[in-house]
Structures are given as structure tokens and as C-alpha cells.
Amino acid sequence: MKKVFIRTFGCQMNEYDSERMYALIKDEYILCAEPKEADLILINTCSVRKKAEEKVYGLVGRLKHLKKARPEVIIGVCGCVAQQEGDKIIKRLPHVDMVLGPQAVYRLKEALDSVRQGKGPVVDVELRKEFRQPLIFPSLNGTAPVKAFVTIMQGCDNFCSYCVVPYTRGREISRPPEEILAEVECLVRQGVREVMLLGQNVNSYGRKEKNFPTFAELLREVAKIPGLWRVRFTTSHPKDLTLDLMRAIAEIPEVCEHLHLPVQAGSNRVLKAMNRGYTREEYLEKVKRLREFCPEITLTTDIIVGFPGETEEDFEETLSLLETVRFAEIFSFKYSDRPFARATQFENKVPEEEKARRLKKVHELQEKITREINESFIGKEVEVLVEGKSASSQEMWAGRTRSHHVVNFKGPENLKGKLVRVFIEDCGRHSLRGKFVRDLCKNAEISVASTNTGDPFLFFGTKNENES
């Protein structure tokens, strides 16, 4: 067998695409841990912030010597930077053999054949009009993970003024519901217990297609699949969060009480310049309604600091929004100019040091809120889906609550893939700690498919390299 090295940057959609790329070639290649051992090197790239893109150029640049020593090695740059740069990548880095945009990764085998036949570099950055990803049933060979991603749509039509994604992933296209259901069923048959449905804006699922279900209807269908215990989804756009979806989250037992709802900024002036399509008041009203439907819901968000023209007062409004909503966790970023994005042309750019100062303030405030929320779990019992041994200690099990909090705990053997109750005794910055109370699977008489004891499938031993 030949060897492939895969490195993935960016969001979960890229992780999903990398898994699919590997599934396409796994009869021919096994995974390896170092580029120097590989016959094929695939770098699945992210372009959402400048730093992510720079990392890719650094990494691919360093592969030049390897290609010189072993010219038969095939190097592919895939994903969002590939789409954005196209054949400029080959000009700048002539040792690259393939440039495949996110919609072309499913053509990996054809691209490889072409390179092997000596036809020169392949650049495929065509943006298609339909969801053309072939249905690749993942075969997990008895090593099913506890949870898995399933892409339900690609692209984005929102054109937030800072964002490159509509240019790298193309227009929003929903995947046919039959395909989604077939893929989830296949995963569950093999032992997967939790799925995360993926898209840049999942709650506008199906809107552009004829006779497609709404996202809330899709959730209901997915949740009916026997053996699937938990359903999550990301990302939801606040402007498309309907009452219907709030009701679905509250009513469907399998849908976990956690919503990632990126707000980006707290000031209406900035939100308008970002082209987000909602005001601060509308966002807060939706949060209020959601909490009425589902009082125990946990919210997380994304924040950008230092958007062009963001004043100190605007920034203070972001801080006050964080205090008002009290998100359990946030992902915060310094604004960065991106190719094609409108905000790149905006005036009044905020200096780098000021962006850094604002980011630090956001971190400090959020750390306090996260700690308070984590502490509120102490003394309570929670339901945990056990994903495996804890990263920090083989003595401890690790899993997540329905609210998406990480829990580490001591317990009996063979808990992987089980739903258990855990009593929370303590907490750290990013996780809760507790002790095993009981195995819910036995009580509920649910049979757990013989999942694995071996290596976690997610993610084939390759690591996601999100820079933030």
C-alpha cells in the first residue's frame, strides 16, 4: 500500500471533506503521520483569516525540498485557499501537482490519474451549481467513532462584508434529504451515536430548492433514525433562526440543548457595516424567545473585534452584549482583510495593537463568564456521551454533556460509546470534572453496537490545525 499524509486546516466542513477524500483513495493508500513518509500529500486549506492562509503557504513551501529529493511524490493543495488562489498556487509553488477547490475534492481520483499520466498539474476550481458530492458511505471497519459530521449544504449566500467563504465555497446549495438520511443511517448502523449536521448557514437549509424540507423538518427526520441518540448542528445564522426551529430544538428529544449562534458584534452600526442582516435588539429578542422555548439551552458565539471603523463605544457594546447573553463559550478573532471581501476596501482600519487590546478584553470578560457557568454545574448530575479516554489521563473517561461541555471523570471499564450520568465535583477553564453515577444504557435497555476499543476514527489520526 502507498502512503498518504493529510493535514486539515479550518472548519468542520474541511474535516468532513478530508475524511471523504481519504474514503475515495483508501483502497490504495494508508495514512501516515509525516509528510516525509508519504507518496501523496494533501493539504486541505482554510482562508477565513490571513493567519490561516499564511500557515498554508509556509507548510507547502517547506515541501519543496521533499519534492526535489523524491519527484514522484504527489502534492495536492485542496480547500478554500485552493479555490481562492487557483493556478496562482502553481505559479508561486511549482512543486504542487494538484489544486482542488472544496467542490472538486470529490474528483480526487481523476486528478491523481491525470497527474500520474504526466499530464501536468491539475487545477480544478470550478464552482458547480448542484450538490455533486458522490454518496460515499463511510466504512468504519468496526472502529466507529461515537460522533460524526454530516454535511447538509455547501456554500453561503450571505456575503457578510468581512468574509471570504461565499467566494471559496460558492453559492448555497442544499444536499438532497434522502442522501443526508442515508448517510446518517449508515453511520448509526456502524455504531455512531451523535451526528453534527454541517453547513455555513444550516437554518436556511432547503430554502432555495423545490420540495425540500425546511431545516426544522429535516431535524425531525434525522432524529427519527433508530439508534441515533444525539443530534447537533452548526452554524446557525441569527437572521434565519425561526420560531419553528426554536420549537424543534425544544421538542425533539435527540436535539441537544446547545446552539452556536454567531453574533460577531454588539453595535448596530458595526452589524450593519458587516451586512449581518439583524440588529442587536433583534438578536437579543431571539435569544429571549429561544430561552422561553428551551430554558436550559446553552449558547455559544463568534466575535470579531476591530472591524473597520469600530470605535471604542462600538466595542463596549460587544462587551455589554456578552454580559447580557452570557454565552458559555465564545470564539473571538481580530478582524483580518480577506481577498474579495468588501470590508477590505473599507476605511478607518483599526490598528493591530488596538485589535489585540480589544481581543484581550473580550477574553478576560468571557473567561469570567465561562468560569461562573462552569461552576454552576458543581453539585449537579449531567448526562454524558462517553467519547473515549481523556486526553490528559488514561485513568479518566471523557465525553460531553448535552450542553456541549467537556466532562472528565473516573468510572468503570468499557464506557466508550455509552450514555452515563456523572456527578460534577469540580471544574477547570475548559472542562468539568466528576464521578460516574450510572450507565443509562442499561437502564434504558438500549443496545450499544459493539463499537471499538481501538483508535478513534475521528479524525484518522490527522489533526485539525485551526489557528485560533
Give the DSSP letter string of 28-70: TEEE-S-GGG-SEEEEEE--SSHHHHHHHHHHHHHTHHHHHH-
Half-sphere CA count of 268, side-chain side, radius 13 A: 5
- Looking at the DSSP bridge assignments, the partners of residue 79 are 45
Residue 160 near residue 48 (C-beta atoms within 8 A): no
Q: Which of 237, 358, 405, 433 binds ligand SAH (CB under 6 A)?
A: 237
- From 82, 144, 160, 165, residue interacting with ligand F3S (rule: CB under 6 A): 165
Closest approach, Cβ 236 to ligand SAH, in A, equals 8
Q: What are the DSSP calls for 313-377, one per residue? A: HHHHHHHHHHHHH--SEEEEEE----TT-GGGG-S-PPPHHHHHHHHHHHHHHHHHHHHHHHHTT
385 makes contact with ligand SF4 (CB under 6 A): no
The residue within the footprint of ligand F3S, chosen from 21, 46, 427, 432 (CB under 6 A), is: 46
Q: Is 300 in the site for ligand SAH (CB under 6 A)?
A: no
Instruction: Give the distance, in angstroms, between the CA of residue 283 and the centroid of all CA atoms in the same chain.
Output: 22
CB under 5 to 8 A by kind: which of ligand SAH, ligand F3S, ligand SF4, none does 338 bind? ligand SAH
Our CB check for ligand SAH shows the closer of 75 and 165 to be 165
Window of 127-135, 152-160, 189-197, 239-247 that interacts with ligand SF4 by CB under 6 A:
152-160
Place of cell 460587544: 318
Helices (H), 135-235: 165-168, 177-189, 215-223
**Residues in binding contact with ligand SF4, number by CB under 6 A:** 10
Choosing from 57, 131, 159, 436, the residue that interacts with ligand SF4 (CB under 6 A) is 159
Toward ligand F3S, which CB reaches closer, 132 or 380? 132
68-88 core/surface letters (b: 16 or more CB in 10 A; e: else): eeeeebbbbbbbbbbbbbeee
Per partner kind, with CB cut-offs from 5 to 8 A, the member of ligand F3S, ligand SAH, ligand SF4, none near residue 138 is none
Which residues inside 164-183 make contact with ligand SF4, applying CB under 6 A? 165-166
Member of 15, 29, 79, 299 binding ligand F3S (CB under 6 A): 79
Instruction: Select from 11-19, 235-243, 283-291, 301-309 the region that touches ligand F3S (CB under 6 A).
Output: 11-19
Of 241, 243, 356, nearest in space to 299 by CA: 241
DSSP 453: S
Write out the residues near ligand F3S by the rule CB under 6 A.
10-11, 13-14, 46-48, 79-80, 164-165, 168-169
Write out the residues near ligand SF4 by the rule CB under 6 A.
156, 158-160, 163, 165-166, 200-201, 237
